[in-house]
Chain A
Amino acid sequence: KAGVTQTPRYLIKTRGQQVTLSCSPISGHRSVSWYQQTPGQGLQFLFEYFSETQRNKGNFPGRFSGRQFSNSRSEMNVSTLELGDSALYLCASSFGTILKYNEQFFGPGTRLTVL
């Protein structure tokens, strides 16, 4: 069974640009979450989508947005990039059921560098 895939794996952008990251969950998983990992702040939750709806959101500015498609694939967009947005962006997927909780499985991440 294929794992969570993320594209691209590496990205270099300049300040002010925008970027779109993509995540394909494990087949059958309907929940996709995004996390930002930096040396200073650690792993921080961005948002979670389930069946094309944002179900939870972390404390990030509106420049960070996402969406989920009907096939459960998800994209994350960051507009007006800042130097501080340089990070490893991790995507995680799960079945996403609430009554019967299950763990998330993570992708390899996209390393974004903002110059």
Chain B
Amino acid sequence: AQKVTQAQTEISVVEKEDVTLDCVYETRDTTYYLFWYKQPPSGELVFLIRRNSFDEQNEISGRYSWNFQKSTSSFNFTITASQVVDSAVYFCALAHSGTYKYIFGTGTRLKVLA
């Protein structure tokens, strides 16, 4: 089965707090891709990061960092020193090699309070 689970439905934090969004995936394939997208209130999904299954290196981009662990089938996303502009719904997605069919998680709504 192919599945993406984002167990956190909604998270509220106060500005400047760090927050981690969890993503757990299921797949039988050895080659696959993982993504994080941000959906602000405007509705447009904004691409944040792509990771392939052979690259377990963690990545940092400004205040954003991602932790990919194949051993636990997780691809977690951390925002450091959160800001009000980070308020959005965040989606984790999975795609298999050879297909552009994304399987999305249910999303985590992040509210950053001033």
Contacts and interface: CB of A to CB of B under 8 A. Distances in A.
Interface of A: 31, 33, 35, 42-45, 48, 50, 55-56, 58, 88, 90, 92, 94, 96, 98, 101-109, 111
A48 B103 CA distance: 13
Contacts, number: 62
B102 A104 contact: yes
Interface of B: 33, 35, 37, 42-47, 50, 52, 91, 95, 97-107
Contact of B99 (A56, A90, A103): A56
Contact of A56 (B91, B97, B100, B104): B100
A104 B43 contact: no
B93 to A, nearest CB: 8
Given A42-B106, A43-B91, A96 B101 contact: no
